[in-house]
Amino acid sequence: MLHLITALKPDIPVVLIDTGYLFPETYAYVDELADRLSLNLQIFRASMSPAWQEVRFGRLWEQGLEGIKTYNQMNKVEPMGQALQVLKAGTWFSGLRRSQSDSRQAIKVVQAHQGDVIKVHPLADWTNRDIHAYMKAFNLPRHPLQDQGYVSIGDHHTSQPLGSLESAEDTRFFGLVRECGIHQPERFVLPELNGKTG
C-alpha cells in the first residue's frame, strides 16, 4: 500500500500509531520502509505514556474484553482521531482487505468514515497471493515476523503466531476480538486538541 500510494504522491502523510508496545522488529521495519520509500512519516501516540498507563490502570490488555477495548481506545483510536484532525485529512487510504477476516468482508473500496473523512481501500479485493506477487515484483521487504508465523502483527502483548491456533482471527487480542477500533467509525469521539500534536 505504501509503495503504491507514494509512487503517486511521494509526500503524502503516512500515519504511524505508536502504542509503545510494538515489536522491536516492527520499529526496525518502520525505519527501513521510511528510509527506502522516503516516507513523510507522522507519528501519533496516546497522551499518557505506556508506563503511566500501567501505573494507573494496570495491564489493561490482561483485563478481559473491556480492558482490551479501553486499551485500544486510548492507544489506537484516540491517537488516530488526533492524526485525522491534526493533518486535516479529507481522505484516509487504508490497506484493509476483505480476505483478512470475517469483520472485513463487507468493506467497500470507498466509504464514509466520520465527518468529512472518506476512507479508501484500494487493496480491498487483493488476496495474499496478489500481495506476495506485488512485493516480489518490486523487491519490497516483508515484516520479519512473518517468517516466524505471524499473520497479523500489532502489539507484542496481544499478537501471537498462527502456530496451532485455529484461525488468523485468533492471533490477535487472545481471540476475544478481531478489530482494535481504528476501522470502526462509531469508536471515534474526536477530542479538542488545544494545540497539541502527536
Give the residue numbers annotated as catalytic, written as ranges.
180
Helix (H/G/I), strand (E/B), else coil: 175: helix
CB atoms under 10 Å from CB of 75, counted, come to: 24
> How many other CB atoms sit within 10 Å of the CB of residue 163?
10
Tell me the CA end-to-end span of the chain in Å, nearest whole number.
Answer: 23
Helices H, strands E: what count in the chain?
6, 5
E-strand ranges in the chain read 13-17, 40-44, 91-93, 110-114, 117-120
Distances (CA, A) of 147 to 26, 112, 154, 162, 179: 13, 35, 15, 11, 23
